[in-house]
Structure 1
Amino acid sequence: MPGLRGDVPVQPGADEARRWLVHELAKPEYAQDPSLLERFLDWFTGLFDGAPTLDLHRGLAALAVVAVVVVVAVVAYRVAGPVRLSRKGAPSAVVLDEDDRSAAELRAAADSAAAAGDWATAVLERFRAVVRSLEERALVEPRPGRTAREAAEAGGDRLPDVAADLTTAAHLFDDVCYGKRTVGPDADASLRALDARAAATRPTARAGLAGVAS
């Protein structure tokens, strides 16, 4: 039949397949990482061991190889991409969802938990008190569903002198909330200090207001 050659197999033996792959993939556009290419060749040609053979033109086999390379690259990206994003985007817990207690009430709850030796609850309530205090001072707009890290970022924009401490406290809140960390009196003391520093720190002007004032 036209276009077919009786002496050229569709699925060549391992040696023949490797020669074809080397010829096709050794072109400059495929030569960015020779060591990776060699590893791929070793894996791919092993797929032909013991496979039955048919007739096909060598060019079509080369196109099939290129197609396999593209498919493998796309699959690897689709699989690895979400993994990278999940590592960067670790979840942060909601701070004050449907909690209408005042900062003073939250501090009292933290004090009560600390007195009982319940340091995890003390840390959680103390951080909530810090965030509620920022809301009461109109430094952070109240918003249901705001996470600890979002609250720290919003508070740090207005109180840059304690921004780093707010971020650290937010990570502590998340770790305790998700049971990833056991805390003691030192953790509660650090949040007590943060609460006091934040209350004593004057906020920076909002960008819009600063522009009007100037």
Structure 2
Amino acid sequence: MRSTGGLLSQTASDTPPVTIGRDAAREAARQELSKPVYHQNDPGLVQRALDRFWDWVGDLFDHASGATPGGALGLVAIAVFAILAIAALWWRLGAPSRTAGPAGALFDDGIRSAADHRTAADALASEGRWSEAVQERMRAVVRSLEERTLLDPRPGRTADEAAAEAAVSLPSHAGALRAAARTFDDVTYGARPADAAMYAALRDLDLALTRTKPLPTGATP
């Protein structure tokens, strides 16, 4: 028994220890840690992206507050002032119109007669769609002047241009024409809501113009 124990002890002590290189150990650790069991609770791709974004926002805020008089409080005050300024401009000028053409043209579709525009305007007014009714009635006014040859048909003409040109031969309605053009621009490009009174004014102007005899070409008002 004694000799057997000594043999076993001698055999164990003679076995060299297992050694592994640094690179091999690193690779073995990487492979082990890449197993899914170690990543079950990791945040997803979207969460990681959001975390990086908010970290960036935090860093930006820290740098901005450091460069702003009053620190973070001063930066907050500037941000609030900017928001109030934007809100004031939005309230004063109105929301940008999505229907506005790039060149501010009066007509944005195919050629229709003045009677067609009047019919469309009255139908819209009967439905209470005052903004669209005002637009159609202004188009009826200008188309009627073109049909009477008081205006030359010209693509891309704006309401202001039409009013200024028509005032030459219809000077007694110059102020009403300018007001009608301004109403059209406010409704179409300034997102100002129209009402029944605006439409009535345009309708009265349209009817009055049809009964007004224009000045001869070259005559002095």
TM-score by length of 1: 0.53
Q: CA deviation at 1:99?
A: 3.1
Q: How many residues are matched?
A: 119
Q: 1:158 and 1:92 mapped to 2: Cα distance?
A: 26
Q: Give the AA of the match of 1:96.
A: F
- Cα distance in 1 between the residues matched to 2:201 and 2:137: 10
1:198 matched to 2:209: yes
- Which of residues 139, 146, 161 is equivalent to 2:150? 139
Q: Match for residue 166 of structure 1? A: 177
Whole-Å separation in 2 of the counterparts to 1:107 and 1:127: 9
Q: Which amino acid aligns with 2:111?
A: D
Select 1:153's aligned residue among 161, 164, 170: 164
Deviations, residues 28-85 of structure 1 (Å, cap 9, x unaligned) = xxxxxxxxxxxxxxxxxxxxxxxxxxxxxxxxxxxxxxxxxxxxxxxxxxxxxxxxxx
The correspondence for 1:175, drawn from 175, 178, 186, is 186
2:140 to 114, 122, 129: 129
Q: Report what 1:58 is aligned to.
A: none
Q: Is the 8 A contact 1:104 1:129 kept in 2?
A: yes
Please give the root-mean-square deviation of Cα atoms over the aligned residues, in Å.
1.8
Question: Where in structure 1 are there 5+ consecutive unaligned residues?
Answer: 1-90
Q: Residues 92 and 149 of structure 1 are in contact (CA less than 8 Å); yes or no, is this contact kept in structure 2? A: no
Residue number in structure 1 paired with 2:121: 110
CA contact (8 A) 1:95 1:148 kept: yes
CA distance, structure 2, for counterparts of residue 153 and residue 126 of structure 1 = 18
Confirm or deny: 8 A CA contact 1:102 1:129 kept in the other structure. Answer: yes
Q: What do the CA deviations read for 1:172-204 (whole angstroms, capped 9, x no partner)?
A: 000000133111111100001000111111101
Shift of 1:92: 7.8
Gaps of 5+ in 2: 1-101
Report the Cα distance in structure 2 between the residues aligned to 1:99 and 1:146, rounded to whole angstroms.
Answer: 14
Shift of 1:98: 4.4
8 Å contact 2:103–2:156 — kept in the other structure?
no
Paired residues of 2:170 and 2:215 also in contact (CA < 8 A) = yes
| 1:101 and 2:118 matched | no
Q: Which amino acid aligns with 1:157?
A: V
Q: 2:199 aligns with which of 164, 188, 193?
A: 188
Deviation at 1:107, TM superposition (A): 0.2
Largest Rg, 1 or 2? 2
Letter in structure 1 aligned against 2:213: R
TM-score calculated relative to the size of structure 2: 0.51
- Between the aligned partners of 2:141 and 2:103, the Cα distance in structure 1 is 17
Matches within 5 A, 1:25-104: 93-104=104-115
